[in-house]
Structure 1
């Protein structure tokens, strides 16, 4: 799911001494973006190469390919005893505000977060550290997009969990963005244990691009609250599920 800290989390895993990780979403870009057969072949080759090195291979994937051929992806996960980490974001409104700066204000820095060491320059980069949300209809469309995306990802996880012939359902570790922000080391220890890795502490190569307080980030936050809730001021801080 976009804006869910997946790049930061995977960047930590990619620095682990026992992993073979591709940081971007390799099969969600060309030449595999709309070719599920090629995406499956790439994944098998990638997993095989990682195993040959004695490492744990893995990468991020969005739901599109799994939706096209869930049986083939489920068979592949069984073949390689794949463990699934379900990365998502609970607060849809905050995710949508971040996406708004990318899609409406053309600030690409929020797509993958800030590079470490550049946080101090945030206010002079792209949309800056404070910005206005002027198009409420567009913000609402982003919220609907994130809800739809979350449902699609949940369905893809469910499809890969299914099993036949009396086999147990495949294990899934949920990794909510909010938990990662609050307790990065706790979440990463859970991830390492889940993957059968020794615990190592590696700093992520991405940092948050948007202030976690929307009252601070959005200059007309009262207008956003009034548009969606009919109330004004910074008391309007809902959690969207």
Structure 2
């Protein structure tokens, strides 16, 4: 017999299993296990409306903690129950101005190395009186860039090319016809935020990459290539070259 919800109980009105939000494949084994442990604690409340006060008494967790978990589950399903670590854990707090400078430099074309960006940020930090961030901190900010920024960086670069605001390596202005077709590429592992953000993009002919074609602004496309795909294709092309040249013996590229 199901227990009726008690006073003050607010069971979730979302399905216990929601295929759109309950995917934990992007998380580690430890994160998945922790999320499932939290779900099992909440399960009596979610399924039959057992008051959180009763769940707290049986589980040993505080009512406040259970309310927070339940809210996260309502908003994000099982993924909402994954432990949330501090993004700045283990490192000094980075001034927001420096963070914005790092992000702006990271999406510039041609692309700058981490070392180059770190040197510029170190100079900026000293000039502005901020603590100088470490190389690892700069790298973390760059790695955490939203995929949307990478796409916008490509579009911004194309706009600069179309407007004649850029110069070639000899300092001469680049002049392009407005009907010029642009092919832009992003090389990145298609996982996590990158997978989620580009989910609606068209798939490439081989089904391994993704492609975005803007409806206006410029003619062309922005193609997302997985790192493994890029390396695999490069190896295949080089192997074909060696085979065509009649070079015998085991190829360097066949060693993985």
TM bucket, shorter chain: under 0.3
Higher relative contact order structure (alpha carbons within 8 Å, sequence separation ≥ 6): 1
State the TM-score, normalized to the length of structure 1.
Answer: 0.22
State the TM-score, normalized to the length of structure 2.
Answer: 0.21
